[in-house]
Each structure stands twice: as structure tokens, then as C-alpha cells.
């Protein structure tokens, strides 16, 4: 690519290969005002020059009949070489039969001997060089340099042409590496791009082999237009297995959305939008890796797109609200309000009150959760300050730190700035990180958490028991509190095994010398049993649901009396 990009600033280089000195000098005289001319006496000498600096040449003028190595043999070598075959060749001959043979071998043009028309020679050289440069530019813009698939622009153009030529039923498919943005955050740009290249290679091998084409989009999805098939699920599962063997990244999941051919009334653009809707539906799921478009999926996709589009306005207008669920210390004569957890709610201007289960997974998938988290941090820190000023009560509040937040290099500075702005101590803004986040990239996350703890923040491992932490890893995880996943509490009286799991979590916490917060406590018997087993802190509807700030203040005043 450097050759044709530099061509506008420097003379193009032309290699003249002829065994007769007078011909070399004559061609040199014709060309030297417009080109930088290099000369070779035979094919062997030219081959050595091309091997040392071949990409520097924009054109080869080649005599056919020469000693040592003739022009036919040099062309054969050049056209077999991946680098040199892109250099156009003009053969120089007076033999008509040789002209035909040369063109069939790949020569771009021919110049008849003797060289009695200099202007014609210059015009032909200029035309061939410009044509080749235009072709090279097209080649570079046609293919995505990372994956070797088409660019989206060329993909769209080729689709329009293919649709008229292909009479078989074709599927529109979107294939995505699940949570690709997190993979890039966790493992780095190079590893993520390597994974994308390997996935593209599998698609080229199996999905575009028969009149299929594929491209990479700006958001790193891979679009495929291919003949209909019935084995997408095992095919994508097979891709995942191959990636697991070739990649150093653990737990790679591919997801595919398919819009099967229906009729010609649906535009290709709409078909791929529907394939995307299907892919959105299956991303983040583990029961299956493929989904086919349906009208329900389309409605869901439009709904999600609306939430994404409305999110920033909701932050600016405070349509998002922070609720607070109290936590109680239960080891004593009576429960004592000791802290609270900040939880996000969305009062949508059109859709009403939305559950976090509707929008949190969506924003986690596309990375927008970082904006939500930072909104909650600001609101919670400001609220803790107000309670301190109004009631002289310091009530620590736990806020969520998503796995995408934890790898922000400025995380410690951002949280520290909130402490300074709202005059808080680090223990007044506790940080919750889900257990599954530790399993994604334990070493990197542990380093980030240690930096937060060095600043004085307390770290709570949220949803403990729902993730994949090994017992060995627990000994090195820097945490200050274990939050028992609420499923343990809900099921604790189902059978002895369920009760044993609750005891196991409490024993692990005792071994780690950290307290346990039991979530989801709703019944008196749950509270009594947890207290008897040594659990220190609980939260749940038994004491209070999550409360808006004003109702939480009323609870604070009541406990302050």
C-alpha cells in the first residue's frame, strides 16, 4: 500500500529488463523524465533486483528473448510470488505469437519493437501504472485489513448484485463474539483482534464456501449472506470448540442470529436488521447459541433500542432514581440499622417504572452500564453527605462496581474525587463486585481491587455462591465482606442439603475472617436461623424493601430516636 500512496509525491520506479544495451538506453531515455528507471541485463539479474526491492517498482518492461533467464521464465516466477504478482508487466517483442502467450500468462500489455513511437510508450506505461494503482486502492478498501472479510460498504454493494443473480434461498446471518467489549477490556486489543481473525477464518471456511459472502462491521459483528442450511446450532458450537483450542481466552461464546429467506418483499437491509435482533436476543444466554428471527424478537429489539436512545436524557433529567435497601446487624438484643445498598430504578417518561432486570443486562452488554454506575456513585455519595449534615448520622452505602468499571485506569481517582467532593471517608462508600467478575480475569481484577483497598475502600463480593470462584482462588481474593446470594436464603428450609450450603458459606467467611451479608431475608424463621448460625448482617423485605431517599430518611430518623 505504501507504494501507491507515495506515488503522488515521488517518481514511480520502472524496471527495464533487456539484454541489448542499446534498447535499455533507448527506453531509459524515453522514460527518465517521468520515471526513475532501473535496468537489468537478463531475467536472472532482474529476479535478484525484484527479490531485494520488488515492492518499490510500479512497472516492469520486459524483453522476452534473453540469455541466462528469458522473459517467460521471469514472468512465471513473478506471477507465482504473492508479493511480486501485483507488479504489472509490459512485454517488449516483435513476435505476434509471443504477444498472445504473454497476455495469457498475465502480462498487462505489450510494446512492439522497434521503439520508434516514444509518446505511445509513455502513454501505455502511464495507463498501466494508473490502472494498477486504482485496482490496488480498490483491493485495500474492498477487504477489511483485520479479518480479510469484505468491508461493510463493499458487502452491501455485492449483496445488491448477488441478489439478482442467485436463485436459491439465502439466509441473512449475524455472528457475534459474546461480550466482545469485555474481552477487549480484560485481555487487551491484540488478543481480542486475534480472536476476531480466527472467527472470520472459520466463517470463510464453512459459511462462504458456496456462493456466500461475509463482512466485518464497525461494532465487530460478522455478517454473512449464505445459502440456507439447517445446522447453525451445531455449526456455531463447533466454531466455539475450535476457538477454545486455539485461543488463550477462556469461555469464548459465539452467538448467531438468523433471518431465513421468506420472500423478495423484504429488503436486504431489513433482513440483516432482523438477524441482528435475533442475535441480540441470544447474546448473554447459555442454553443456546443461535436464534431465528421472529416478530416477538423484532418488538424486543425496538424496545431495547428505545431504552438505549433514552438513557442519556434519563440521566440528565434524573429519571433514574437511587433507592436504598437497609442492612441490619442482627447479632445483639435487637437488629440495628448499620448500612444500606444503593439500587437503581428508572421512572421512564413514557413506559413508567422499569425494573433493573429490564435495562441493567442490556447496558452491561453494550458497555453503557459504566454511565449508570457513575450516576449511582454520585447520587449515593451526595445522599450520604446530606444524611450526615441533617441527622449527624454516618450511614455507609454500598454501590455496584461493574466488571467493566474495574478496569478503568482512572477508577481510583474517580472514586477518590467523590470522597473529596462530598467530604466522605472511604468506608462510607463501600464497593460491591460480583463473584463472577473475579472468575473472568482474576489476576487483573485482584490487582485493581487491591489498589482500591489501599485507598481505604471496603470491598464486598456480591452474589457469592452464584459464580465460579474456586476455593483456592478465595484465599487470594482481596475482600472485606461476603454477600451470600439470595437463592441460598430462599431455599435454606427446602432440605438439609440447602441448609448445609448456607452453613458452608458462613464457614468459608469465618475461615476468611470476613462478615457475611445475607440477602433476600423475608421470613422470621430465616432471620432466627441465620442469627443462630452466626450471620452478622442481613437485608431483605423482612425489614424493608428498597426505599426512595425520602422514605429512607424517615427510617433513619426513626432509628436515631
pLDDT of 163 reads: 60
Is the Cβ–Cβ distance between 148 and 199 less than 8 Å? no
pLDDT of 7 reads: 38
CA-to-CA distance for 395 and 542, rounded, in angstroms? Answer: 20
pLDDT of 332 reads: 87
What is the three-state SS of 162-178?
Answer: HHHHCCCCEEEEEEEEC
Q: Report the predicted TM-score, pTM, of the whole model to 2 decimal places.
A: 0.59
CA-to-CA distance for 251 and 60, rounded, in angstroms? Answer: 51
Confidence of residue 4 (pLDDT cuts 50, 70, 90): very low
pLDDT digits (tens, 9 = 90+) for 33-57: 889 999 999 999 999 999 888 778 8
Q: Read off the DSSP letter of residue 94.
A: S
CA-to-CA distance for 90 and 106, rounded, in angstroms? Answer: 10
Helix (H) or strand (E) holding 474: helix 471-474
CA-to-CA distance for 491 and 482, rounded, in angstroms? Answer: 18
Residue of 32, 62, 38 lying closest to 52 (CA atoms):
38
Statement: residue 270 has pLDDT above 80: yes
More confident residue, 219 or 162: 219
CA-to-CA distance for 185 and 348, rounded, in angstroms? Answer: 31
pLDDT digits (tens, 9 = 90+) for 183-231: 887 788 888 899 999 999 999 888 877 678 899 988 889 999 988 888 9
All cell numbers assigned to 104:
495469457
pLDDT digits (tens, 9 = 90+) for 61-114: 998 888 999 989 999 999 888 778 888 999 987 777 787 788 888 888 888 888
Q: Please enumerate in sequence order all residues whose Cβ is within 8 A of that of 472, keeping only pairs 6 or more positions apart, or say none.
A: none
- Min mean pLDDT across 121-135, 304-318, 375-389 is at 121-135
All cell numbers assigned to 268:
436486504
Q: Read off the DSSP letter of residue 423.
A: T
What is the number of other CB atoms lying within 10 angstroms of the CB of residue 241? 11
CA-to-CA distance for 48 and 43, rounded, in angstroms? Answer: 9
More confident residue, 121 or 324: 324
Residue 292 dihedral angles phi and psi, to the nearest 5°:
-100, 145
Residue of 368, 241, 357, 243 lying closest to 315 (CA atoms):
368
What are the counts of helices (DSSP H) followed by strands (DSSP E) for the chain?
23, 20
Please confirm whether the linkage preceding 76 is cis (ω < 30° from 0). no
pLDDT digits (tens, 9 = 90+) for 296-312: 777 777 888 899 999 99
Note the Cα 11 to chain centre separation in Å: 42
Q: Which domains does the chain have, with CATH numbers?
A: 2-142 (3.40.50.2300), 150-293 (3.30.70.270), 304-560 (3.20.20.450)
pLDDT of 18 reads: 92
Statement: residue 520 has pLDDT above 50: yes
All cell numbers assigned to 524:
422470621
pLDDT of 429 reads: 95
CA-to-CA distance for 542 and 29, rounded, in angstroms? Answer: 97
**Cα torsion 202, 207, 210, 212: sign:** negative
Confidence of residue 6 (pLDDT cuts 50, 70, 90): very low
At how many degrees (to 10) do helices 152-165 and 268-282 cross?
120
Kindly report the length of the chain.
Answer: 561
pLDDT of 280 reads: 82
On average, the pLDDT of the chain sits at 86
For cell 442439603, name the residue. 497
What is the number of other CB atoms lying within 10 angstroms of the CB of residue 460? 24
CA-to-CA distance for 387 and 389, rounded, in angstroms? Answer: 5
Is the Cβ–Cβ distance between 212 and 225 less than 8 Å? yes
pLDDT of 5 reads: 32
In sequence order, the β-bridge partners of residue 14 are 37, 59
Q: Please enumerate in sequence order all residues whose Cβ is within 8 A of that of 444, keeping only pairs 6 or more positions apart, or say none.
A: 186, 407
Q: What is the CA radius of gyration of the chain?
A: 34
Q: Read off the DSSP letter of residue 337.
A: E
Helix (H) or strand (E) holding 323: strand 320-329
All cell numbers assigned to 166:
442467485
Q: What is the pLDDT averaged over residues 411-416?
A: 94
Amino acid at each position: 500500500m505504501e507504494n501507491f500512496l507515495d506515488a503522488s509525491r515521488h517518481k514511480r520506479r520502472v524496471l527495464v529488463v533487456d539484454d541489448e544495451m542499446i534498447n535499455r538506453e533507448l527506453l531509459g531515455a524515453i522514460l527518465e523524465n517521468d520515471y526513475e528507471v532501473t535496468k537489468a541485463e537478463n531475467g536472472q539479474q532482474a529476479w535478484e533486483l525484484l527479490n531485494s526491492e520488488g515492492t518499490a517498482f510500479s512497472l516492469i518492461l520486459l524483453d522476452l528473448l534473453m540469455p541466462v533467464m528469458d522473459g517467460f521464465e521471469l514472468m512465471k516466477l513473478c506471477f507465482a510470488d504473492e508479493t511480486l504478482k501485483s507488479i504489472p508487466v509490459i512485454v517488449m517483442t516483435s513476435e505476434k505469437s509471443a504477444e498472445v502467450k504473454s497476455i495469457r500468462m498475465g502480462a498487462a500489455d505489450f510494446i512492439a519493437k522497434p521503439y520508434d513511437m516514444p509518446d505511445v510508450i509513455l502513454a501505455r506505461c502511464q495507463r498501466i501504472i494508473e490502472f494498477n494503482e486504482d485496482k490496488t486502492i480498490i483491493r485495500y478498501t474492498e477487504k477489511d485489513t483485520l479479518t480479510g472479510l469484505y468491508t461493510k460498504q463493499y458487502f452491501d454493494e455485492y449483496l445488491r448484485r448477488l441478489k439478482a443473480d442467485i436463485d436459491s434461498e439465502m439466509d441473512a446471518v449475524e455472528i457475534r463474539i459474546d461480550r466482545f467489549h469485555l474481552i477487549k477490556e480484560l485481555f487487551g486489543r491484540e488478543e481480542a483482534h486475534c480472536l476476531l481473525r480466527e472467527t472470520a477464518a472459520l466463517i470463510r471456511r464453512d459459511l462462504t464456501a458456496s456462493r456466500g459472502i461475509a463482512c466485518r462491521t464497525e461494532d465487530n459483528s460478522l455478517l454473512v449472506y449464505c445459502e440456507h442450511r439447517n445446522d447453525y446450532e451445531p455449526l456455531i458450537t463447533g466454531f466455539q470448540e475450535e476457538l477454545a483450542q486455539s485461543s488463550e481466552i477462556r469461555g469464548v461464546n459465539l452467538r448467531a442470529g438468523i433471518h431465513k429467506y421468506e420472500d423478495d418483499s423484504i429488503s436486504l437491509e431489513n433482513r440483516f436488521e432482523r438477524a441482528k435482533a435475533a442475535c441480540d436476543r441470544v447474546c448473554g444466554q447459555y442454553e443456546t447459541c443461535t436464534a431465528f428471527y421472529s416478530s416477538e424478537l423484532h418488538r424486543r429489539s425496538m424496545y431495547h433500542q428505545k431504552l438505549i436512545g433514552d438513557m442519556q436524557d434519563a440521566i440528565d433529567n434524573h429519571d433514574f432514581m437511587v433507592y436504598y435497601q437497609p442492612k441490619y446487624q442482627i447479632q445483639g438484643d435487637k437488629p440495628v440499622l448499620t448500612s444500606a445498598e444503593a439500587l437503581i430504578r428508572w421512572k421512564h417518561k413514557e413506559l413508567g417504572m422499569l425494573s433493573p432486570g429490564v435495562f441493567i443486562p442490556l447496558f452491561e452488554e453494550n458497555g453503557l452500564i459504566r454511565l449508570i454506575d457513575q450516576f449511582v456513585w454520585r447520587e449515593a455519595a451526595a445522599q450520604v453527605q446530606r444524611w450526615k449534615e441533617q441527622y449527624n448520622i454516618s450511614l455507609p452505602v454500598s454501590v455496584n462496581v461493574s466488571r467493566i468499571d474495574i478496569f478503568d485506569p482512572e477508577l481510583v481517582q474517580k472514586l477518590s474525587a467523590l470522597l473529596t467532593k462530598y467530604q466522605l471517608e472511604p468506608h462510607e462508600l463501600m464497593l460491591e463486585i460480583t463473584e463472577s467478575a473475579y472468575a473472568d480475569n482474576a489476576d487483573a481484577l485482584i490487582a485493581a481491587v487491591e489498589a482500591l483497598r489501599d485507598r481505604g475502600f471496603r470491598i464486598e463480593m456480591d452474589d457469592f455462591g452464584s459464580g465460579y470462584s474456586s476455593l483456592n482462588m478465595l484465599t487470594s481474593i482481596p475482600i472485606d465482606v461476603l454477600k451470600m446470594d439470595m437463592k441460598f436464603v430462599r431455599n435454606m428450609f427446602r432440605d438439609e442439603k440447602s441448609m448445609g450450603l448456607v452453613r458452608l458459606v458462613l464457614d468459608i467467611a469465618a475461615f476468611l475472617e470476613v462478615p457475611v451479608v445475607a440477602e433476600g431475608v423475608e421470613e422470621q424463621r430465616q432471620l432466627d436461623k441465620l442469627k443462630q448460625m452466626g450471620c452478622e448482617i442481613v437485608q431483605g423485605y423482612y425489614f424493608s424493601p428498597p426505599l426512595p431517599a425520602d422514605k429512607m430518611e424517615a427510617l433513619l430518623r426513626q432509628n436515631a430516636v
